[in-house]
Every structure is written in structure tokens, then in C-alpha cells.
Chains A and B, each alone.
Chain A
Amino acid sequence: DIQMTQSPSSVSASVGDRVTITCRASQGISSWLAWYQQKPGKAPNLLIYAASNLQSGVPSRFSGSGSGTDFTLTISSLQPEDFATYYCQQANSFPSTFGPGTKVDIK
């Protein structure tokens, strides 16, 4: 099975900051990676698919990059509504696997 790791596990940031989250796969997954945002008590929300494709309706301050084993999610200018937990998921093969999550909170 493909294992997913994320770093950092948490980050404290201020409104307007640039935030970068890293996701690493235990083996190559081409560009088959998705990123989600989840707020407390809510379902996850798809942000990015196929590593760098912005899901419809998602603000352009979110971007994704990477291929193979190393991926990044960048929030170019953090907004108050962006404080949440972010997960990556590999979509290369079954069983599908998620990263452990990165919590973005207020500094």
C-alpha cells in the first residue's frame, strides 16, 4: 500500500501569509494527488485534483504542484476562512490513502 506523509503537522500563520504544505508518497504516484480542506464538524472540500488542477469554485489563492512522490499545496495569501485542516490523498491506486493532515491555525 502507498503511505502518505504530510509536513508540517501544524502551522501557525497570520492573515496574508503565504503557507506551503508538503505531501510525500512512499512510492511514485505520477500526478494522482488530491488536496482537501476540512473545517471542524464539516465534510472535506476538494481543493485540487491531479496535483495541480483547481477544483471549480475554489479561490485562485490555492495552488498545487508536484509529481512522482513530492507535492505541495500553497495558499498564496491566507484568509480568515482558510484556517482549517488540509489533507492529501493519493488517487494512483487502491487502496486509496490519505495523509495524516496539516492543521493551519491562527498565529
Chain B
Amino acid sequence: EVQLVESGGGLVKPGGSLRLSCAASGFTFSSYSMNWVRQAPGKGLEWVSCISSSSSSIYYADSVKGRFAISRDNAKNSLYLQMNSLRAEDTAVYYCAREPNHIAVRGTFADHWGQGTLVTVSS
């Protein structure tokens, strides 16, 4: 069974930093591209970042470019999101999500999602 478990969320002051982690199990993590998607309270979904299976390709939403960094450790079956210079508008539940690898998609979408971790940016 595919499992994605996020951790690392919490309360942080504006301008602060936080590192999210996602532990993957139940599939060959190193064979899949992975995503972070967020959802502000009461709002819709916002794609944040994507990293290819070998980390050779990385993409970001304009809203986080230059402040967030996605990375992965295939030996540890883990995905990360380093978030710096946090703003109030970064407050959201952050989901880790797996991109399926049976279809050669040009962008990305996700077939499995974690339960999310809440990040609150407030003074």
C-alpha cells in the first residue's frame, strides 16, 4: 500500500524558516517524480513544486520561487521542502503527492497524496 506521511509543520514567525519532510513507503520511491501541493484554510489547491525521480528536473510555482527548495533522498525514501522567508500567505496545509509513472505527462498530476501537515505563519 502506498503511504506518504508528511511532518515538520508548525507555527513560525514571518521571515522564518521551516523544513517539511515526507516519508514514502509501499512503492519504489526512486522511480517516481514527487510534488508538494498546498491548501490555505478554506481555499483551493495550489501546486507548489515538483522534483523528478533523479532530482535532475525541479519546478516551482512563481509564488515560492527563490524562497522554497524541494529535494529528495532516494536512499531514505524521503521528500523535503525547505521553506525560507515565510510569509503569512504561505499558511496552508502542505501535501506530499506522488506523480504516476505509467504515463509520460508533460506537466504533473498526482495519484497518491499524504494526509498533509499544517504550516502557520504568524507573529
Contact = CB atoms under 8 A, between A and B. Distances in A.
Contact of B106 (A32, A36, A89, A98): A32
A91 interface: yes
B59 A94 contact: yes
Interface stretch (A42-50, A63-71, A73-81): A42-50
A50 B47 contact: no
A98 B107 contact: no
B75 interface: no
Contacts, number: 70
Interface residues of B, number: 26
A82 to B, nearest CB: 18
Given A43-B116, A91-B109, A97 B103 contact: no
Contacts of A90: 107
Interface in B80-123: 95, 100, 103, 105-116
> DSSP class of A's interface residues: helix, strand, loop or mixed?
loop
A55 interface: yes
A59 interface: no
Contacts of B109: 34, 46, 49, 89, 91, 96
B107 A49 contact: no
